[in-house]
Amino acid sequence: MSNHNNISELKKLTKDLTILYVEDDDQIRKSTAEIFSHLVQTVHVVVDGQEGLDLYKEYFSDNGKYYDIVISDIQMPRVDGISMSKMILELNKKQKIILISAHDEHMLEAINMGIEGFIQKPLKSQQVFDVLKKVSLNFHSDDIQYFNVLTEASIISKSDTKGVITYVNDNFCKITGYLREEMLGHPHSIFKHPNNSDEIYKDLWDTISSGKIWRDRMVNLNKDGSEFIAETTIIPLLGSNGSIKEYMAIRNDVTEVVHFKRKIFLEEQEKAKRIKVAEAQKSFLVVFTHELKTPLNAIINFTKYVKKQIELPKELNKEKLSSLLDSVLSNANDMLENVTQILEVSKLNAHKLTYNYSVFNAKDIVSEVMKRYNSLITEKNIKVVYDMPDDVLISNDIFRVKQIFSNIVSNAIKYGNSEIKISISNKEHSTISVEDNGPGIKDKDAIFNLYSQEDDGLLERKSQGTGVGLYFVKLLCADLHISYKVEDRDEGSGTKFILIFNEKKEKGE
């Protein structure tokens, strides 16, 4: 093989290498540096060991890597080549170093240090080429070993600049189920999974086509339609002219890990859902019993009193007994209404209630509902103020509107103090409002939730709330297209409930 061919072969091995060359002799330094500059990518030249050590550290600081090869004379001022090599090997045990010397006395020490090669002075070109070739081959041997280890542990593929597959390792075939010949020459898009967004592919190509490394987790499609999820790194590989010649993709299969985490997440979600349902059932039972407790206690106490009066030999106070029996009947009706509402909540949530629409007078339904509460209003000494014109008509389900209004009035009686104002208006829309002078409500949204109540908790309230009632109101209003608002009272403390009947929507029904 000719000398020209030898140099060409050597350049293939050394073209990407970086060299630090340390030589104090001007003539040798210039001529040898000229040879190196034609063989390697980068050659940095200094005149003694101290400068060499300083530049070695600086190069690592700037580039995040060391020189590939350090070539140094031994006899130099300040710091000699042996001392510099020792200090460099302390920084980087794998550093490849070639020493140049006219004498052999340092050779044994250098061998024991782990020096890669020697060049004897006077320098001869062929000797330089041979040593450089030997060290470069060691580099390529290391690269091959590293690549072999990498391919054993990872899923590797290569593609050209258009994304056409040019290489796949055995792991790639094993994981995807494709034969090697089924993949080579085909675009990487054969593994495209529908779960991946178009944005991820755009980001991938924008990144690697600009020469940058792309990293992300990606879902890939196997031959049988199953998925494999991989932590993916795609590296642009550059040619001698600095342009991208191909791409190498390194994938680590995390399918089982992701599926396991997903399974755990779903199990935790299901567990949380079961806990929530159990808590809801428990709360529902508390609400249910709480809703029935007050009317049931009233029925029991009034019945005991009536029975006691009957058993006494004195003359019966028929008027009082009649009043007590009215209270018993009223509380029994309240209890029945609570049970009915609780049963109808499930139908409302499933939108299975049926409605009968008609046109009715707002004042009439208010008056009818208020009659039910006359005895309770009298008992609590509540003043009721009315502002109700005679001509306000509403188109809706009259029975359900009565239920809604009844719950709001009940709430006002139980939480108000001494006055309730009921108003009907027909300005922009038909409205019915109920205003009390109670303590007011801080969280106006929470009162419509099934288990949220104001003050100190469900069982610690001084008075019984409607509980299910206002939740029932919320669901009914949604189904009947009735809007509602809860506001602070215009003057002083208290709460104002407003029902708004949308005439346009109701006329269309």
> What is the domain partition of the chain in residue ranges?
3-149, 154-253, 259-329, 354-507
For 354-507, CATH gives 3.30.565.10
Lowest mean pLDDT among 306-315, 360-369, 370-379, 464-473: 464-473
Q: Is 144 helix (H, G, I), strand (E, B) or coil?
A: helix
Region of residue 481 (phi > 0: left; psi between -120 and 50: alpha; otherwise: beta): left
Dihedrals phi, psi of 164, to nearest 5 degrees: -85, 130
Q: How confident is the model over 207-233, as a mean pLDDT? A: 90
Q: Nearest CA to 226 among 152, 280, 157, 175? A: 175
Is the pLDDT confidence value at 387 over 90? Answer: yes
pLDDT of residue 383: 93
pLDDT of 453 > 50? The answer is: no
Q: Provide the pLDDT for residue 500.
A: 95
Q: Please, which pLDDT band fits residue 422 given cuts at 50, 70 and 90?
A: very high
Per DSSP, what are the bridge partners of residue 221?
A: 227
3-149: CATH homologous superfamily?
Response regulator (3.40.50.2300)
Phi, psi of 158 (to 5 degrees): -125, 150
Tokens of 311: 């058993």
At residue 277, the pLDDT reads: 72
What pLDDT is recorded for position 499? 95
289-337 per-position pLDDT tens digit: 766 776 777 778 878 877 777 777 666 677 777 777 877 887 787 777 7
Query: What CA dihedral angle connects 278, 284, 290 and 296, to 10 degrees?
Result: -120
Digit-coded pLDDT (tens) for 90-103? 998 888 888 887 76
Q: How confident is the model at residue 283 (pLDDT cuts 50, 70, 90)?
A: low
Q: How many CB atoms lie within 10 A of CB 237?
A: 10
- Higher confidence at residue 199 or residue 12? 199
Residues 168-211: tens digit of each pLDDT: 888 899 989 999 999 999 998 899 998 888 899 999 999 999 98
Does residue 143 have a pLDDT over 70?
Answer: no
Q: What whole-number distance in Å separates Cα of residue 196 and Cα of residue 189?
A: 11
Mean pLDDT, range 371-400, rounded to an integer: 90
pLDDT confidence band for 224 (50 / 70 / 90): very high
Give residue-wise pLDDT tens across range 30-81.
Answer: 888 888 888 888 899 999 999 999 999 999 988 888 898 899 998 888 899 8
pLDDT of residue 104: 65
Half-sphere exposure of residue 460, counting CA atoms within 13 Å on the CB side?
A: 6
Q: How confident is the model at residue 281 (pLDDT cuts 50, 70, 90)?
A: low
| Higher local confidence (pLDDT), 506 or 342 | 342
- Higher pLDDT pick, 489 / 108: 489
CATH H superfamily, domain 154-253: PAS domain (3.30.450.20)
- Arithmetic mean of pLDDT over the chain: 82
Measured CA to CA in angstroms, residue 199 lies from 163, 206, 213, 264, 463 at distances of 17, 10, 17, 29, 59
Task: Look at residue 450 in the predicted model and tell me its pLDDT.
Answer: 59
More confident residue, 455 or 230: 230
- Cβ-contact 396, 501 below 8 angstroms: yes
Amino acid type, 257: V
The closest alpha carbon to 19, from 68, 85, 76, belongs to 68
Q: What is the pTM of this model?
A: 0.42
**Does residue 241 surpass a pLDDT of 90?**
no
How confident is the model at residue 354, as a pLDDT?
87
CA 464 – CA 103 distance, rounded (Å): 106
Q: What per-residue confidence (pLDDT) applies to 141?
A: 54
Give percent of the chain above pLDDT 70: 84
Would you say residue 464 has pLDDT above 60?
Answer: no
